[in-house]
Each structure stands twice: as C-alpha cells, then as structure tokens.
Chains A and B, each alone.
Chain A
Amino acid sequence: MANNNTVKWSRKHLLGLEDLSAQEITTILDTADGFKEVSTRTVKKVPALQGKVVVNMFIEPSTRTKTSFSLAAKRLSADIVDFSASTSALTKGESLKDTARNIEAMGVDIVVIRHTTPGAPHLLSRTINASIINAGDGAHEHPTQGLLDIFTIREMKGRIKGLKVALLGDITHSRVARSNIWGLTNLGAEVYVVGPSTLIPTQLKQLGVKISYNLDEIIPQMDVINILRIQMERQKAGLFPSIREYARLFGINAERLKKAKKDILIMHPGPVNRGIEITPEVADGARSVILKQVTNGLAVRMAVLYLVAGVSADK
C-alpha cells in the first residue's frame, strides 16, 4: 500500500497528531507497512536502531503501550530501559524536568513518555535534547494509538477518505479520541463522536466533527466504530446515571450490530470492559479488529521510533 504522498520525515519529536500534515501521517503508515513484515519472520529483528537508547518513561501506569514500545524498540535492535514512577513521587521530590535531565545524562536518544498532565511531553521537548514521543498525556493526545487505529482502518478498508468513523463513549476524558479526530479528519474521514451529552465537549464541532447522543440513529451509516473505554469513576462523579443504563444506550452488542453495515469495523483501544461498552460476542466476533490493532501497534511504533531516530541522528 505504498503511497506516492510519502515525504522525507523531518520531525525530531512526535507530540501529537494535531501537528502532522496528511503527508506526514501517510509517511508513518507506509513506513509501518514495511515494518509489519518483520514480525512475521523467524528472527524478528532488524538492526535499524542498533546502538540507540530508548527510555520508556511511564509516569502513569500502562501495560499495553509500554510493552508495545519495548518490543518495537527491541525489534529495531535499540536498547530500551523502563523508568516508572508515580506522579506523586515526582511532585514530592525531584521534578519531571530534573528526572528527564538525569536520564538524558546517561546518553539517551529517545524518551517515550506517558503522563497524567496534558503538555508534559511538550515540557520535556523544551528541556532536553533527546527525541520525545508522546505515549499519552492526560486527556490531550495519544498519537501512536491514533496512528495504529488509522493504520488498521486503512489496512482493512484500503482508504480513509470518505469513511464514516464513530468514536463512541467518553470523549471528554479521552486522548485516544482527540488523536483520532485530528488524524482522521486530516485524512478526509467523516468523524462522529457519540456518547452521553455529559461526556462530549460540544466545542469539538469546531473541528468539523459531528456530534450525536443517539447511537442507534447513526449506527447504520458507520463504516467504523472505535469504542472508548468507559471508566467506572465517571459514573461515581455523576456524569452518567448507571453502568447498566450506559450499556443499554451505548454498549455495542450483537443486536445493535444487526443495524450496522455488514462490513463495519469494530475497534477498541483497550483495556476492554467486557459487558459494558462491548459484549464478549462482539469483542471476539467477526467484525472485531481489536487484536489486529494491538499487532499493528507494534509496527506503527517501530515506524515512529525509526523515523524520529533518523532525524536526531542527522542533527
């Protein structure tokens, strides 16, 4: 699926999909296409980043993203070090900037950071010389998740332009939603955000996104539904009445799926709350590409590491 729009990569950091042009996104996706094949080999390794050091700086817990970045770095033959700390430990003692400076002093080329505060990766990019990859900053962006979602859609549908993609659930608190919105709208998809009115910031309309509070009304037109995880504490905070009601109004089940196009894609960035936002039969069913997303995540993260490493090596 190589695309003629591929351009020479020139960004040292990947802070968000908002900053990227359609050509840059396509460049990452095409590069990921190439790396996908590596995972099918018996020796799942290329020497592209030999001698490079990548640090996983996860200030907020994560299993899937951290593992995915670790494996991606290893397949590129980079050295990868995990650094985990709770935000509270940092605020009590050493600052994020000092921690990063210390890590950098050990000779690090790329820092992958996950943090609870929007803009923490941007702060690091101003502080240290290493390349910064945003692995999720609060409710702001999660660019590699957005990219792997888009990669999976492109792989399955052969295009992005003109597709109707629904992001379903808690949009307000979702960095995955924001990265998807930037990337998908940029590539010409029609993006819908669907969920309880208390969990959708209406200002997102200004980004050309369509807002719906009624899943059943829009589901027949959708080509893709990307289901966001619903966090139980939102119910306790009074943002929706009950888990049961949420599941009834916004949960994806086999019954509801009957109204959808036959070739609809069901996606979920995980971790999945089975029985709440999605029933097990759908999660494991024929339309689900949830595990494909995870596999593709590896290729996309290899592509991102490879591209930013190339730029920092030039400089």
Chain B
Amino acid sequence: MSSILIKGGRVIDPANKIDKTANVFTLNGKIKSVGAQSPKADKVIDAKGLIVAPGLIDMHVHLREPGKEEEETIASGSAAAVNGGFTSVACMPNTEPAVDSEASAEFVYLQAKRTGKANIYPIGAITKGRKGVELSEMGQLVRGGAVTIISHCEDKDLVPDGVMNDGFISAVLGLRGMPNVAEEVMVYRDIALCELTGGKLHIAHITTRGAVELVRQAKKKGINVTAEVTPHHLLLTDESVKTSSFDPNYKMNPPLRTKQDIEALAKGLKDGTIDAIASDHAPHSPEEKDVEFNIAPFGIIGMETLLPLVLTELVNKKVITLAQAIAKLTVNPARILGLDKGTLTVGADADITLIDLSKEWVINPDEFKSKSRNCPFRDWKVKGKAVKVIVGGQVVN
C-alpha cells in the first residue's frame, strides 16, 4: 500500500485544537501520525508555507445526476469539489428521479466510487418522489448510504411567485418579493417541532437576521439545532439584482438579503450560532439560466469559489479566524452529518486539504471543473486557494 509524508506545513486541526508546524504522515488511507517525526514515505509533499487542514466538507451541493447531466454529473461535480478543496460533499436529493430509496442512494454512491475523487454522500428525500405524501423508506436509505435529513425553511404561501428579497429593491424593480418572515416562520416552526420531538434539526442556508436570532435562542435552550450559511448570502445583497441590471446569476433561493442580514450572519458565524459554511452549489445550463429574470431558475454554483471567498472576505477581513473557518468546513459539518471525518486524528481517514493562503488569483468560471458557469463572482480578486487535495490517502488534485 502507499504512504505520504506532508512535511513542514502549518497543521490546523480544530477538532484536536492543533495549530502548529508539523509533519502529517498517512499510511494505507489513514492518518498515521501528526508531529515532528519524519517517517520514510513513498511520496513526500513539501508543505512549507502551506496550511494542512482536514479535508474540507461541503455539506450542501446539487449534482444534478440523475436527470440533468448536461448541467452537472457526479463525475464533474466531484472534480469541481476537489478543485475547490473539498474531499467530501453531501448532495441533495432533488434529482430526477429523486434520491428517495436505497437503490437511488446506492446509484449516487456507486457513481461517486467510479469517479474516485471526492467522497459523495447522498442526502435522502423525506418523502417518496419529494411529493410530501408518503415517507421514504428511511431505514433502507441509510443502509444505502444516505445520512441525514435537513430543512430548507420557506413558507411557500408567503412567497407566491417571489424571485428576490422583499424590500426596497424589489419595490423599485417591480419584482415579486420573498420576505424574511417566510424563512423565519418556518425556522421557528421547525425549532418548535424539534423541541417537541427531541429530534435533530439542521437549518440549511440561513439568510435572515431573525432566523439567526431564533437559532441562537434555541441553542441557548439546549435544543439540538444547527445551521449553515453560504458565501453568497454572506457577501452579496439584493442590491446586486439592480446594479447588475437583472442578471439571473443573482437569483437564488433563499434570495440575497440586505446589509443588516449580512451583519447578523457574520455575527452568528463568529459566535458559533452558525455551525457550517456550505456552497449550495446549484448548477444550471446557460440556456436555462441566462433568460428573463422571472423565468430563470434559482441558484448558483459555488464549490470552486467557496474557500477563496471565505479566506479573502471573512478570514483576511477578520470576521472569523482561520481556525474557525476550517472548523466550519470540516469537523462541524462532519458532526452534523454524522460522518467520522473532518479531523486529522490518528486513525482517521486520510482526507487532507493543503491551502496556500498567499496565492492571489482572479475568479474565472470558464476555468472551472463544474459543467456550469452560473457564478456571480466572475472577476473577483481573491487570495487563497486549495493547492493539493488528498482523499483516502490518494492525491486527487
């Protein structure tokens, strides 16, 4: 079998509270040692000047296979993941057909295996065909590889035909609004249900100041609730819809909110109310996305921009520390998903991401591994990039 020695990097492993220069040695797909020792290895990687982190985990992506392979496949999504520094991703079940059975979860799992890049974890649909009528066979689903159930909080009755945040900008543009409360009433409902049942709740892509406060209070009460946020909700506001003259690359669900919401999200990220950062990677073909704003689908791609944006806009601007950022991209999502990953603990899977904090570059979606190009961050200048990605002891990118 094979071994790798990653020499002289700054090892940051939040789960073990490690932040020091050390060598990481992997053997047969597992972490064998982290420290000063320098065992003989088949392959030696000089990590001087680089961050050595547990493999990053994107807990919210859409890979479109099966059903819309022209937008993304498990293979292209997997390549995009490792190109963005992710060793594991959890993909959502809104495919055609939906991932709602052992067989469909098994399909995703096997396709990922064939690709041999990132680990892919299918998230199961709660109901058969995502119709909200009959429960999926969850026991079977978990055996097939699906791992958890997550809530997209949106009261559909409060956002009829909504295409952007409800506020001043929507009023000026004459576009239908989606108010903050549509998210907040559902966050409140789900928290209340979670408290009632004693279950486990994860709020996907939280976006409003009210929702952040609800999660903060719920956590204080000891309710088992966690939350994730996306880079675009942290960095962009609904004003982008106007300044871009209705570019559908600023149309997402939940919608881009306001400056006050961004400030609350940043605060929640800092104080731990928000546990994880995820991309909500949502590929769409140009013929589908580059159309009139009302009929364009929601969502943008994000796996290949998440890390540089977090480093440039959050870490370098001192919104959160580097260790916090890595925790929210490794051990925290792993715990939420129930995965034994996200650490460099001896014996753990050898999933490792090497990051160059000093690399300056300009985002150009045309160079992405993803099949889609719907990205609002084109031409953004960023600093920081994943330069080497190891999955299960194999260098994959």
Q: Please determine whether A117 and B294 come into contact, CB atoms closer than 8 angstroms.
A: yes
Note all chain B residues with C-beta closer than 8 A to A258: none
A204 touches which of B171, B287, B292, B293 (Cβ 8 Å)? B171
A89 at the interface (CB under 8 A from B): no
CA distance A34 to B330 in the complex (A): 69
A201 at the interface (CB under 8 A from B): yes
Q: Please determine whether A206 and B168 come into contact, CB atoms closer than 8 angstroms.
A: yes
Residue-by-residue, is B269-306 near A (CB-CB < 8 Å gives 1, otherwise 0)? 00000000000000000010011111100000000000
**Which of B32-40, B45-53, B109-117, B172-180 forms part of the interface with chain A?**
B172-180
Note all chain B residues with C-beta closer than 8 A to A172: 171
CA distance A206 to B295 in the complex (A): 28
A275 at the interface (CB under 8 A from B): no
A20 at the interface (CB under 8 A from B): no
Q: Please determine whether B167 and A120 come into contact, CB atoms closer than 8 angstroms.
A: no
Main secondary structure, interface of B, reads loop
CA distance A91 to B293 in the complex (A): 12
Q: Please determine whether A95 and B168 come into contact, CB atoms closer than 8 angstroms.
A: no
Minimum CB–CB distance for B168 against chain A, Å: 4
Q: Please determine whether A201 and B293 come into contact, CB atoms closer than 8 angstroms.
A: no
Q: In chain B, what residue has the closest Cβ to A98?
A: B287
A178 touches which of B174, B291, B295 (Cβ 8 Å)? B174
A117 touches which of B168, B170, B295 (Cβ 8 Å)? B295
Q: Please determine whether B291 and A95 come into contact, CB atoms closer than 8 angstroms.
A: yes
Of the four ranges (under 10, 10 to 19, 20 to 34, 35 or more), the interface on chain A belongs to 20 to 34
B292 touches which of A117, A125, A173, A207 (Cβ 8 Å)? A117
Q: Please determine whether A97 and B291 come into contact, CB atoms closer than 8 angstroms.
A: yes
Q: Please determine whether B173 and A118 come into contact, CB atoms closer than 8 angstroms.
A: yes
A126 touches which of B167, B174, B245 (Cβ 8 Å)? B245
Q: Please determine whether B292 and A119 come into contact, CB atoms closer than 8 angstroms.
A: yes
CA distance A125 to B244 in the complex (A): 13
Q: Please determine whether B174 and A175 come into contact, CB atoms closer than 8 angstroms.
A: yes
A222 at the interface (CB under 8 A from B): no
Of the four ranges (under 10, 10 to 19, 20 to 34, 35 or more), the interface on chain B belongs to 10 to 19
B246 at the interface (CB under 8 A from A): yes
A122 touches which of B174, B245, B290, B291 (Cβ 8 Å)? B245
Q: Please determine whether A119 and B171 come into contact, CB atoms closer than 8 angstroms.
A: no
Q: Please determine whether B291 and A96 come into contact, CB atoms closer than 8 angstroms.
A: yes
CA distance A113 to B295 in the complex (A): 17
Given contacts A175-B174, A203-B168, contact A119 B245 (CB under 8 A): yes
CA distance A115 to B246 in the complex (A): 14
A12 at the interface (CB under 8 A from B): no
Note all chain B residues with C-beta closer than 8 A to A123: 246, 291-293
Q: Please determine whether B293 and A118 come into contact, CB atoms closer than 8 angstroms.
A: yes
Q: In chain B, what residue has the closest Cβ to A139?
A: B174
Note all chain A residues with C-beta closer than 8 A to B167: 203
Residues of A232-264 whose CB lies within 8 A of B: none
Minimum CB–CB distance for B306 against chain A, Å: 27
A138 at the interface (CB under 8 A from B): yes
Q: Please determine whether A118 and B175 come into contact, CB atoms closer than 8 angstroms.
A: yes
Q: Please determine whether B294 and A116 come into contact, CB atoms closer than 8 angstroms.
A: yes
Other 12 A-B pairs with CB < 8 A, given A122-B246, A123-B292: A95-B291, A96-B291, A97-B291, A118-B175, A119-B293, A122-B245, A126-B245, A172-B171, A173-B174, A175-B174, A178-B174, A201-B170
Question: 4 tightest CB-CB pairs across the interface, nearest first?
Answer: A119-B246, A139-B174, A201-B171, A140-B174
27 contacts between A and B (CB under 8 A): A15-B245, A95-B291, A96-B292, A117-B292, A117-B294, A117-B295, A118-B173, A118-B175, A118-B293, A119-B173, A119-B245, A122-B245, A123-B246, A123-B292, A123-B293, A137-B174, A138-B174, A138-B294, A139-B174, A139-B175, A140-B173, A140-B174, A140-B175, A172-B171, A201-B171, A203-B172, A204-B172
Residues of A within 8 A of B (CB): 15, 18, 91, 95-97, 115-120, 122-123, 125-126, 137-141, 172-173, 175, 178, 201, 203-204, 206-207
